[in-house]
Amino acid sequence: MSTRCFRRVLCALLLPVLLTGRAAALGTSAASAVLMEQESGRVLYAQNADEKRLIASITKIMTAVVALEEGDLQADYTVTAEDMAEGSSMYLKPGDVLTLEELLYGLMLVSGNDAALAVAHCVAGDEASFVAMMNETAERLGMEQSFFCNPNGLDAEGLDAEGHGSSARDMAVLTAYALQNETFRRIVSTASITIGERYLANHNKLLRLYEGCIGVKTGFTKAAGRTLVSAAEREGMTLICVTLSDGDDWNDHMSLLDYGFSTYDMMTAVPAGQALASTLVENGTVPLITLGPDRDLACPVAEGECLTVTVSAPASVSAPVVPGQALGTASLWLDGTCVATVDLVALEPSAVYTPPEKEKGFFARILGR
C-alpha cells in the first residue's frame, strides 16, 4: 500500500437541528459521572470522568464480557467450595450444576459474588487466569484507568495502577462494547428469571422506572459507595450513563438520560456503503476503486451544532483488493474535536492484473514466464 495519504474536508454537513424540551443545567451527587452515546462514543456529559475509583459490582460487566467471548454458554459447571463468597449472592452450594449462561444471569441480575467466582472457574479454570483475561480485554479496549484484581468487585487494596478500580469513562467504553453482544443485551435487560428453584429479580430498578431502559448493572460496597451503569434506547439512539460513588444514583441517571434524549438527536451523516472517496489500484484489473464507510457515520447532534466530515485514505493501493477491506477512515468533527470515526472500506474488488500471452515479450514466452 502506498504510504502517501490524502485527508480532506468534504463538507459542512449538518444544518442546525431544532429541538424542544431542553433540559436545565446539570449536576449530580456523584464523585464521577459520564453520559455517552453508544454508537459514536460521543460524551454528552462528563464529571471527573477520568478519575480512577473503586467500582464495586459494576466490575461484573467485564466479567460477563470475558465469559461471553471466551466461554461456552452451554458448558456445565459443578459448583465447589472455592466459589463461595461474601456479600451479594446467587446462593450457590457446592455440588450444584449450572450452565455458564445460567451463572451469567446470577451474575448480572442479582450480582452474585459466588456466581462471579463460578464464572471465572468455569471459563479459565482458576481466578488468576480469568482476571488476566479481564485486564487483557481492558487494555485492548483502551481502558487506561482500569485494573482488575477479581471478577466480583469486592474492594481490593489501594487505587494505584495495580489496584482494583476504573473510571466513569472507561466503564462507559466497556459498556458500549458489551452492548454490541446480543446475549449480553438479553441478559442485562431481563427483569426476572427462574433457574431451577431459584427466582432471580434484576436489582436494576431503572428497568421498571425509566422508559427505554435496557440494563445494565448496579454496585455497592462501603468503600466504593453506590455505583451504577445504565443504558436506555429511544428512537435509534442508545445512551450509556455511569456514576461512581453516588448516593442519589437512580435520580441522577434519570436526569442525565432525560437531558441526553431531550437535547440530542441521532443523525446519520453518511450511510454505510455510500461512496466517499476513491483510490488508485496499482497492478489491478481496474484502475480505481471507491471507498465508503463500513457502518453508518453517525452521532448525536444538538441544536445549533454543525459537523464536518473528513476522509483519510491512501492515494493508491496494491492489488488485490477485496470488498470490505479497510483502507482508511472517515470522521465527524465538531469545533476541532472528533466525535465519531468509522473505517472506510473498498466497495468493489480489484484482482491482480495478469497480461495476456500476446502481451508478453519474446524471451518471456520462451522461458515460460
DSSP state of 147: B
Helix/strand/coil (H/E/C) assignment for every residue in 329-354: EEEEEECCEEEEEEEEEECCCECECC
What is the structure's pLDDT at 78?
98
Q: Which residues are catalytic?
A: 57, 60, 111
pTM of the model: 0.86
> Which helix (H) or strand (E) covers residue 137, if one does?
helix 127-140
pLDDT along the chain (369 residues), means of 10: 42 36 66 96 96 97 98 97 94 97 98 98 97 98 96 73 89 98 98 95 97 97 96 96 97 97 94 94 94 94 92 95 96 90 95 75 51
3-state secondary structure of 229: strand
What is the structure's pLDDT at 365?
52
DSSP state of 355: -
> CB–CB of 291/284 below 8 Å?
no
Q: Which cell numbers hold the place of 222? A: 462501603
What is the structure's pLDDT at 335?
86
What is the structure's pLDDT at 213?
98
The rounded distance, in Å, linking the Cα atoms of 118 and 142 is: 27
What is the structure's pLDDT at 360?
55
What is the structure's pLDDT at 3?
36
Angle at 45 between CA 41 and CA 48, to 5 degrees: 100
Neighbours of 164 (CB within 10 A): 23
Q: Which cell numbers hold the place of 176? A: 458500549
